Amino acid sequence: MATQQKKVAFHTMGCKLNFSETSTIKRDFISRGFKTVSFNEYANIYVLNSCSVTENADREARKIIRQAKRLNPSSSIIVTGCYAQLKPEELAAVKEVDMIFGAKEKFNLLDHLDSIELNHKTKLFHSEINSVSHFEPSFSSNDRTRSYLKVQDGCDYNCTFCTIPLARGASRSSTVSKTLISAKQAISSGAREIVLTGVNIGDFGVNSHEKFIDLLVSLNDLNDLDRIRISSIEPNLLSNEIIEFCAKSKKIMPHFHIPLQSGSSRILKLMRRKYQTSLYKERIEHIKSLIPDACIGADIIVGFPSETDDDFQKSYDFIESLNISYLHVFSYSERQNTKAIKIKNKVSKTKKAERSLAMRELSKELKLSFEKSFVGSTREVLFEYQIDNQWFGHSDNYLPVRVNTEENLKNSIESVNIVNSVKNYLVGSFLN
Same domain, 122 and 138: no
What percent of the chain is modeled with pLDDT above 90? 78
Cα separation, 246 vs 252, in Å, equals: 6
In a domain, 317, yes or no: no
The predicted pLDDT at position 3 comes to 42
CA distance 29 to 34: 6
pLDDT in tens, 300-329: 999 999 999 999 999 999 999 999 999 999
Instruction: Specify if 350 maps to a domain.
Output: no
Confidence of residue 108 (pLDDT cuts 50, 70, 90): confident
Whether 163 and 94 share a structural domain: no
| Same structural domain, 89 and 113 | yes
pLDDT score at 130: 81
CATH number at residue 198: 3.30.750.210
Which of 208, 231, 253 marks a domain boundary? 253
Whether 15 is in a domain gets the answer yes
CATH number for 411 = 2.40.50
Note whether 17 and 115 are same-domain residues.
Answer: yes
At residue 143, the pLDDT reads: 61
For residues 282-306, one letter each, b for 16 or more C-beta atoms within 10 angstroms of the residue's C-beta and e for the rest, the string is ebbebbeeebebbbbbbebbbbbbe
pTM above 0.85, yes or no: yes
pLDDT tens digits along 125-174: 887 878 788 888 898 876 668 899 999 999 999 999 999 999 999 999 99
Position 121 confidence tier, pLDDT thresholds 50, 70, 90: low
| Residue 90 domain flag | yes
Examine the domain organization and report whether 138 and 114 are in the same domain: no
Q: Is the same domain home to 110 and 144?
A: no
β-pair type (326-331, 378-387): unpaired
* Pair 116, 137 in one domain: no
Compute the distance between CA of residue 304 and CA of residue 315 in angstroms, rounded to an integer: 12
Closest among 146, 147, 141, 152 to 178, alpha carbons compared: 152
Domain boundary among 201, 221, 253: 253
What is residue 16's three-state secondary structure? helix
| pLDDT(2) > 60 | no
Average pLDDT, the chain: 92
Asked whether residue 108 is domain-assigned, the answer is yes
Same domain, 76 and 179: no
Domain count, the chain: 3
115 and 165 together in one domain: no
Residue 145, in any domain of the structure:
yes
Sequence-distant (≥ 6) Cβ neighbours of residue 126 within 8 angstroms: 84, 85, 88, 100, 101, 102, 105
**Residue that terminates a domain, selected from 205, 227, 253:** 253
Quick one: 134 and 247 in the same domain? yes
Domain that holds residue 175: 130-253
The arithmetic mean of pLDDT across residues 387-395, rounded, is: 93
Residue 118 within any structural domain of the chain: yes
Indicate if 107 and 180 belong to the same structural domain: no
At 235 the three-state DSSP class reads coil
Residue type, 389: N
pLDDT tens string 52-98: 888 888 999 999 999 999 999 989 899 999 999 999 899 989 989 99
313 within some domain? no
Q: For the domain that residue 43 is a member of, what is the CATH number?
A: 3.40.50.280
Is 150 in the same domain as 241? yes
| Backbone φ and ψ of 233, nearest 5° | -140, 135
Grade residue 114 by pLDDT with cuts at 50, 70 and 90: low
Closest by Cα among 363, 376, 308 to 330: 363
Cβ proximity of 362 and 320 under 8 Å: yes
